[in-house]
Every structure is written in C-alpha cells, then in structure tokens.
Amino acid sequence: MTSTARLPRPRTIELHGEPVSYHLLGEGPPLLLIHGISSSSESWSEVLPALAEHHTVIAPDLIGHGASAKPRGDYSLGAFASGLRDLLVALGHERATLVGHSLGGGIAMQFSYQFPERVERLVLVDSGGLGREVHLMLRAATLPGADWVLPALAWTGALGAGARGARMLGRFGLHASPEVRGIADGFETLEDPDACRAFLHTARSIIDPGGQRVSARDRLYLAGDVPTLIVWGERDTLIPVTHGYAAHELIPHSRLEIFEGAGHFPFRDDPARFVAVLRSFIDDTDPATADAVRLRGMLRGEVAA
C-alpha cells in the first residue's frame, strides 16, 4: 500500500505453525491496530509512528493478508479474534485498547465479545458489522463465479490497474483521495492467488449478495462498560456514515467523531486529527474492567447497560 510514511521492517512470529507478520513500535499502554479486508498493517503507516510516541503499538497483518500466512482455513470473525488474542499473549500483553478499521472493526467487536477481560477500550473506524449496507463491489465477491472471475482478473493484472491509475493521476498533479488509493491498493494485493482466495473466504464469512450478513447491533448494549470511540468518514462510499450514528445510539456512553469530507480511510484523510482524537479519548477514559457478575445480569436482563 502506498504511503507518505515508511515503517521499520515488520517482525514475524509463528503461531500454530503459521507465520504472522506484525509491526511493533513504541512503549507504553498497548494499542492494537486492526486493518480492513484486503489491506495490511501498512494502512496505518501515516499514524503509527505518532501513536507510538505514547503507546506500545502492535499492528499485525491479519491471517490471509499482507505478509502473514494465507492458509486454507477459518476466516470468520471469531477465528480472527482468537488469532489476535494469541498474538497479544505471545507478545506478553494481557490487555489492550483495540482500534479496528472496516473489517477490523467487526473483529474488534468480536474480540471484545469473546475476551472482555482483555479489552481496555474499543475504537471503531468506519466499521463493518453495524448494518446491512455495504458497497456493491464487496457484495459481488460473494456471487457464484467470483472464485473464477477474480483469479482470472488477477492473472491478467487487471486488479492492479486501479493502483497504477491512482499513481499515474499523482504524476499529473491529480491526487486521488485516500479512499480511492486505499481501495485500489487493496485490489492490487489480490494479484497473489493465495491472497485472492483468502479475500473470498473472508468476504463470504461476513457478506452475501444482499449486503453484510453479520451484525453486532443486537449485542452492542454489552459494550456500555467499555469506553468506546466511533470514528467515521462523512463521505464513506463503502460503509455509510449512518451506521456510525446508529452505533453511537446503541452503545451507551460512546463517543462519535465524524470526519467531514473524509471517506472510508479517515486516518489517511487527516492523520493528525485522527491521532489527536484517539489520544484525547485514551487520556480522558479509564480502562474497562471486566465484571462477570454484571455481565451475567445484563445477559439475563436483570441489570441495565
């Protein structure tokens, strides 16, 4: 993925016999950055160094993405969440503030649901899993025949044309938006047959031809005890900003930050503002503490969120 910032070489750890690539920078309270579908840890490159000034920042390539392994395996939200739990524990971190973008937001919510004792705060950035609507091109990946169409396009190099086109616009002084560049870069990764297969498995685990089929909305009340920040690009064309407003209403005590004029990658549209908003949120909130008795009461409807 193209970026104005360069990160140090990523590290690699073997988990369950598969290599997992990740960036590890800084010192301080752990901050886990979770990227979106067909993306990688490089998507955070414009904000990662600034965040590392006050935090231990862990930015992995999810399984099936970037430089991590791309096995024929489980690409469900639950499997991603378990893999991230294992990574945190292997690196010596019991808890972290989770920052999830797009697919990563859905994974962060699943992580919070599966492992509440390991979550200090939750930050959802243009997150999936909060409504049915999603861009047609992602829904198309779930249609019959996509297994043959996408690899064929990758073989011809057509999937990389978007990224090359974005770079060409830059040479002519016409700068594509961060949303266009982010989407184009993601498509370019699908020229790798293993990445293309992992993309299809991931997309079909959460999306069908009608839109997103996995939703966290019925369980968002459980996040009321976890400090939650919702960040959204006002002009997101992949996942509409209305999902952010709806989540804000459903998560008690959550904060909502709308980036005016930004698209699906607000942390690339305005990196300085994103870092400032995230730092302020962390500074102003105390880490969550899991309470099994209270959780049981909320699930039984005996305790208000």
Residue 169: CB atoms within 10 A of its CB come to 14
Is residue 25 a part of any domain in this protein? Answer: yes
Residue at 142 is within a domain = no
Domain that holds residue 284: 11-134+212-299
Point out the catalytic residue in the list 236, 243, 248, 254: 236
126 classed as catalytic: no
How many angstroms separate the CA atoms of 219 and 225, rounded? Answer: 13
Full-model pTM: 0.89
> In this structure, is residue 201 part of a structural domain?
no
User: Do the beta carbons of residue 231 and residue 122 sit within 8 Å?
Assistant: no
Q: What is the DSSP string of 169-210?
A: HHHTT-PPPHHHHHHHHHHHHTTSHHHHHHHHHHHHHHEETT
Is residue 68 situated within a structural domain?
A: yes
Q: Tell whether 123 is covered by a domain.
A: yes
Find tokens 């959780």 and name the residue: 295
Q: Which tokens hold the place of 195?
A: 């990445």
Q: Tell me the residue type at 6.
A: R
Residue 5 has pLDDT above 50, yes or no: yes
What mean pLDDT comes out for the span 254-271? Answer: 96
- pLDDT value of position 258: 98
Q: What is the pLDDT of residues 46-59, one digit of tens each?
A: 999 999 999 999 99
In this prediction, residue 9 has a pLDDT band, given cuts at 50, 70 and 90, of very high
In this predicted structure, what is the pLDDT of residue 129?
A: 95
Q: What is the pLDDT of residues 107-151, one digit of tens each?
A: 999 999 999 999 999 999 999 999 999 988 788 888 887 775 555
Residue 169 has pLDDT above 80, yes or no: no
Give a yes or no: residue 50 inside a domain.
yes
Is 192 a domain residue?
no
8 A C-beta contact, residue 230 and residue 102: no
Residue 138: predicted pLDDT:
85
- The arithmetic mean of pLDDT across residues 93-97, rounded, is 97
Q: Which of 23, 35, 101, 264 is catalytic?
A: 264
Give the mean model confidence (pLDDT) for residues 170-188: 60
Annotation marks residue 218 as catalytic: no
Q: Given pLDDT bands bounded at 50, 70 and 90, which one contains residue 167?
A: low
Q: Which residue has the tokens 């305790």?
A: 303
pLDDT in tens, 263-277: 999 999 999 999 999
The per-residue pLDDT for 2 is 38
Burial class, 40, CB count within 10 angstroms (exposed 0-12 / middle 13-18 / buried 19+): buried
> Residue 132 is which amino acid?
R
**Which of 185 and 82 is assigned the larger pLDDT?**
82
Q: Is 102 a catalytic residue?
A: yes
Q: Indicate the burial class of 123 (C-beta count within 10 angstroms; 0-12, 13-18, 19 or more).
A: buried
Average pLDDT, the chain: 88
Domain at 25, CATH number: 3.40.50.1820
* Residue 35 pLDDT > 60: yes
Between 221 and 145, the higher pLDDT residue: 221
Percentage of residues in the chain having pLDDT higher than 70? 85
Catalytic choice (102, 112, 127, 177): 102
What is the tally of structural domains in the chain? 1
Per the domain annotation, does 219 fall within a domain? yes
Predicted confidence at residue 62, as pLDDT, reads 98
